């Protein structure tokens, strides 16, 4: 078996083992945020930063149903000047938590993406969200690192391969956004 077949075969096994109940729990958390008009703040580093931006975009656009309120999703990864100001003037671990302190309200959602579950800036932001009454969600890799103990809801990707974890986080984004659209559409018919 070559590298292409090997990677794709293993990715299919990862998808088969995805924790469906955990995914449904996160969908329900996000439905609650939509119903309340709460904001969803999404953050990550590296490839996870790209996923955070992608997820914010998809929540804000793919979930639109005519006549229904829209999602309020913000990727804290997208304000590069503010991130670098906090990183330069204080410490890199503050680049997300300091942004949250300006924006977060009780019952908002803070969603941190970290394959290791141990990124100090992600952990600090989740802690800040928790301290301000936000609901916290984590997307992480196999053992969840310290992140798993900081969040209210966690989705673990059943793979030790960081690439496959990142691939699965993007797939989670699409699964969640499409399911949210379906739910909002059903609500519009009621």
Q: What domains appear along the chain, each with residue ranges and CATH number?
A: 3-189 (3.40.50.10490)
Backbone angles phi, psi at 50, to 5 degrees: -65, -40
- pTM exceeds 0.95, yes or no: yes
What does the CA dihedral 156, 161, 162, 164 come to, rounded to 10 degrees? -70
Q: What is the pLDDT of residues 86-95, one digit of tens each?
A: 999 999 999 9
Q: What is the pLDDT of residues 165-181, one digit of tens each?
A: 999 999 999 999 999 99
Q: How confident is the model at residue 1 (pLDDT cuts 50, 70, 90)?
A: confident
Say how far residue 184 (Cα) sits from the centre of its chain.
19
């Amino acid at each position: 078996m070559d590298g292409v077949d090997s990677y794709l075969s293993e990715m299919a096994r990862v998808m088969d083992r995805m924790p469906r109940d955990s995914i449904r729990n996160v969908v329900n958390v996000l439905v609650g945020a939509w119903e309340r008009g709460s904001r969803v703040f999404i953050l990550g580093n590296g490839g996870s930063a790209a996923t955070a931006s992608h997820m914010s975009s998809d929540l804000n656009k793919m979930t639109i149903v005519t006549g229904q309120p829209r999602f309020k999703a913000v990727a804290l990864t997208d304000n590069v000047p503010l991130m670098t100001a906090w990183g330069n003037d204080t410490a890199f671990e503050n680049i997300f938590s300091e942004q949250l302190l300006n924006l977060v309200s009780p019952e908002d959602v803070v969603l941190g993406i970290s394959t290791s579950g141990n990124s100090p800036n992600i952990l600090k932001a989740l802690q800040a969200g928790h301290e301000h009454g936000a609901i916290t969600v984590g997307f992480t890799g196999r053992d969840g690192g310290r992140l798993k103990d900081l969040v209210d809801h966690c989705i673990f990707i059943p793979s030790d391969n960081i690439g496959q974890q990142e691939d699965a986080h993007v797939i989670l984004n699409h699964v969640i956004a499409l399911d949210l659209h379906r739910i909002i559409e059903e609500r519009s018919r009621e």
